[in-house]
Amino acid sequence: MIAAAGRDMCVAGVWRLHALVFAALLAMAPIIPLNAQGLDAEGAIETIVGSDVATEEKNVAEEEARLVAAIALSHDNAVEVRKRFRLDNVEIVFVPDLADDGAIDAKLSENADAVKELRQSIEGSAMLYHAVNSRAVLLRDVIAVEFQGDDVTIFAAGKKPD
């Protein structure tokens, strides 16, 4: 009986020790620095994407054939976006006069579901989403993606931001 009482005191002592250690850790928590890196930190986007993100602006007339082909491949490119884990070069091409072209509008209407799937795939890809987001492109403005090896070109409606 005395042994049982001694054992109970020993268990109680262990629990008190655990409680003291836990309280000490909680007391120190405010002084432990948080090392999370935000997206505003220098080089954060380039680290996530894996390369610099280049931007340029082109007319529909210059890019019409590429745009029509890329829009037609939207479903395949959406699948490819989900598979990619490495990109060498990312280029975003802004197409400001997109509304003036009937062939592009017709192709976008014809492939509306595939383009929507492509946008969802980009949203699910940390690399491509942060590449697009870092250049102030809304997902609804992405009209097509073109892969050439480990390089990707993202076509977006609108003017290049200043």
Q: What is the mean pLDDT of each run of 10 residues along the chain (162 residues)?
A: 51 77 74 53 56 85 90 95 87 85 86 95 90 90 93 91 77
What confidence score (pLDDT) does residue 37 get? 47
* pLDDT value at residue 121: 94
**Which sign does the torsion angle of CA 26, 28, 31, 35 carry?**
negative
Look at residue 10 in the predicted model and tell me its pLDDT: 58
- Nearest Cα to Cα of residue 103 among 64, 152, 58, 69: 64
What's the pLDDT score for residue 73?
A: 95
pLDDT of residue 67: 92
Q: Are 110 and 35 in contact (CB under 8 A)?
A: no
CA distances from 135 to 16, 17, 20, 56, 154 (A): 55, 54, 50, 11, 11
Q: What is the pLDDT of residue 80?
A: 94
pLDDT value, residue 36: 46
Q: Decide: 97 and 156 in contact? Cβ < 8 Å.
A: no
Using DSSP, state whether 118 is helix, strand or coil. helix
What ranges do the domains of the chain cover? 2-31, 44-157
CA dihedral of 147, 111, 99, 66, whole degrees rounded to 10: 30
pLDDT for the residue 28: 67
Whether residue 121 contacts residue 82, with contact meaning beta carbons closer than 8 Å, is answered with yes
